[in-house]
Amino acid sequence: MAPHANDVEGNAVGINLNGEKSPAFNAFKVESPNVAYTDANIESKFTYRTTAIDATDGKYVAVPKETVYEFKTERTVGKVGLMMVGWGGNNGSTVTAGILANRHNLAWDTREGRRAANYYGSLVMASTIKLGTDVKTGDDVNIPLRDVVPMMHPNDLVLGGWDISGMDIAAAMDRAQVLEPTLKSLVKKEMAAMKPMASVYYPDFIAANQGDRANNVIPGDKACMEHVEHLRKDIRDFKSAHDLDKVIVLWTANTERFADITSGVNDTAANLISSISAGHSEIAPSTIFAVACILENAPFVNGSPQNTFVPGCVELAEQHGAFIGGDDFKSGQTKMKSALVDFLINAGIKLTSIASYNHLGNNDGKNLSSQKQFRSKEISKSNVVDDMVAANNVLYKKGEHPDHTVVIKYMPAVGDNKRALDEYYAEIFMGGHQTISIFNVCEDSLLASPLIIDLVIVAELMTRIQWRKHGEDEWKSFHSVLSVLSYMLKAPLTPPGTPVINSLAKQRNALVNILRACVGLEPENDMTLEHKLF
């Protein structure tokens, strides 16, 4: 049986990679004429309610609208592989060790006491949602988010990937200096057998200080179709060697500089393919990986801030119906910022400036000490408040925006324990001011690794969901650009012409309510009228 298939009642059953029972999900079943369970699928009918606005001369006419959609979710997950670009980096080695520790149910000693493997920090694996209200007690009933629809379990992932460094993943884990020595000793033997495949290396796109790592590279220092085909073969071979049903590819390698968007080069799918063939200097390694994945129909997620998904790349994904998502893991400082700014502006407090300072000592910080690579990160960190500001036309006039500055410095001594200092300066009642200062020590890779797991789980799930409007015959997949991944990303990629949402609460609600729609449940709401109307 494939890992985490589900029986007709919605219960998760399956065998993991070691032939052992995987952790079971808490099952529930929706009893409704709008939901049907078959051996293969969960099929639901869902009424999507929105409000259309006609704005004329400063006056608004609101018209409620209803659209009925049908969703079909495949219940069998199958066997899934995760291939990481930058597998030997801090994030890649930490994710690998974490999954192995959870798979083997490990525990280890630390100076603070005994610790056991967990998936804390993962939205999917460690958070809950309100399912409904208990008919007997009136209390809320909460279930793990992972139980809403059949999802892949990270313990079942087959791991692999590429790195410009040929170091085995156990040695890379030691180099990263993230995990406790007692934990490392438990997974070291298994990880020492893991070796990354040679990767694409174009020196112009990452900092020169990364050159001493580049001993495991595919020949050639600029874009070419040979590189695309090499990576496509790597994906096919990995899939075949492990008898996988699908492969998800995720970029967790170095931040690249931004590529110039140039007419005739990377503005259309045809021009992008032509420019790759011609060896154009503005085609980044991450875009080469994205193109290879699109052509292999392997979902590709970019966890760094560069503009991997140039317009031609997005168009290519749309043409092939392939899934892409990005950009830049949202783990520590930026997640706090998107939550706090949302709170302040929704509370009617006028934020007038945000100053963000970081220093860190891992290889990400070393790479970001180069100005071009820092600029990529600065852009992704600076735009996270835009939609929240634009949503409040009482506090902010059109075009008005808080001052916002971002500083990142490389400090080797602090290693992976990034220091983030933020000052929020706001105008309050009657010309007064409020200043909020936050000092946040982020264990960078231990925050980012669960996000990688979330991105992979949700991306895989999207390959099993189809939709159609009620009355239509043809089932469709979601748009190639997976904006549903936004909660985990600093600079969410959205389909062309659609708004970017950075509000953390809105991002989570979007994901949760899509999952609820797949089982025919109404969106979460907190009206609790049953407790207010007597």
Joined tokens for residue 519: 């089982």
Largest Cα–Cα separation, the chain: 74
Judge whether 490 counts as a catalytic residue. Answer: yes
- DSSP readout, 36-60? EE-SSEEEEEEEEEEEEEEEETTEE
Joined tokens for residue 382: 């600076």
Q: Which of 521, 519, 491 is nearest to 507 (CA)?
A: 491
Active-site residue among 79, 364, 418, 422?
418
For 191-275, strand residue ranges (E) read: 246-251
Measured distance CA(362)–CA(415) in Å, rounded: 5
Active-site residue among 163, 234, 327, 328?
328
Q: Are 44 and 517 in contact, with CB atoms under 8 Å apart?
A: yes
What is the sign of the dihedral through the CA atoms of 197, 203, 205 and 210?
A: positive
Please give the distance of CA 413 from its chain centroid, rounded to a whole number: 29
Q: Are 450 and 125 in contact, with CB atoms under 8 Å apart?
A: yes
CB atoms within 10 A of CB 375: 16
Judge whether 377 counts as a catalytic residue. Answer: yes
Who's near 237: CB < 8 A, 6+ residues apart?
A: none
CB atoms within 10 A of CB 263: 9
Active-site residue among 377, 416, 422, 444?
377
- 426 forms beta bridges with 351, 434
Measured distance CA(338)–CA(393) in Å, rounded: 19
How far are the Cα atoms of 73, 206, 279 from residue 265, in angstroms, in the given order? 38, 21, 11
Measured distance CA(285)–CA(277) in Å, rounded: 14
For 224-256, letters b (16+ CB in 10 Å) and e give beebbebbbebbeebbeeeebebbbbbbbbbbb
Q: Are 341 and 383 in contact, with CB atoms under 8 Å apart?
A: no
Q: Which of 452, 409, 418, 95 is nearest to 302 (CA)?
A: 452
Judge whether 139 counts as a catalytic residue. Answer: no
Q: Are 437 and 423 in contact, with CB atoms under 8 Å apart?
A: yes
Joined tokens for residue 101: 């520790």
Half-sphere exposure of 139 (CA within 13 A, CB side): 5
- 421 forms beta bridges with 357, 439
Joined tokens for residue 199: 């990767």
Measured distance CA(207)–CA(189) in Å, rounded: 32
Q: Give the helix/strand (H/E) hosting 515.
A: helix 504-517
Active-site residue numbers? 328, 377, 418, 490
